[in-house]
Amino acid sequence: MSIDPSVQVALVSAGGAVTAALVGVLVELVRRQGRVMGEVREHVANTHSTNLRDDLDQVVDGMSRVLEGQADHAEQLAYLRREMAHERVERLAVAERLDEHLSRTAAPPIN
């Protein structure tokens, strides 16, 4: 089966046009991807002298120390609350004993 030369030329021309269109689309996609990658690089590129991982490790170490200090403060506050509750109980007991003592030793009213 033989294809007419004019059909062959049309097929080759159409194939070339499709190929050119695909190449154009691919070039545009690569260009857009390059622009996006540039934006990403701008956000993640290290512009200072230290490594980002080292910086994060220092932050994590600092947070660990803060959390340890916070736990220590929580223990100290709990201790102070217990002490205040104990002092309150003792103060109320002294006030009650003083009231009883004053009521027993109070001078009779003068008429």
Q: 24, 30 in Cβ contact below 8 A?
A: no
Helix (H, G, I), strand (E, B) or coil at 46: coil
Each domain of the chain, given as residue ranges in start order, spans 1-45, 51-106
Alpha carbons 81 and 89: distance in angstroms, whole number: 12
pLDDT digit string, tens, across residues 4-55: 888 888 989 999 999 999 999 999 999 889 888 877 777 676 677 778 788 8
Q: What are phi and psi of 84, to 5 degrees?
A: -65, -40
CB neighbourhood size of 7 (10 A): 10
pLDDT digit string, tens, across residues 43-87: 676 677 778 788 899 999 999 999 999 999 999 999 999 999 999
pTM above 0.85, yes or no: no
Among 17, 18, 20, residue whose Cα is nearest residue 28: 20
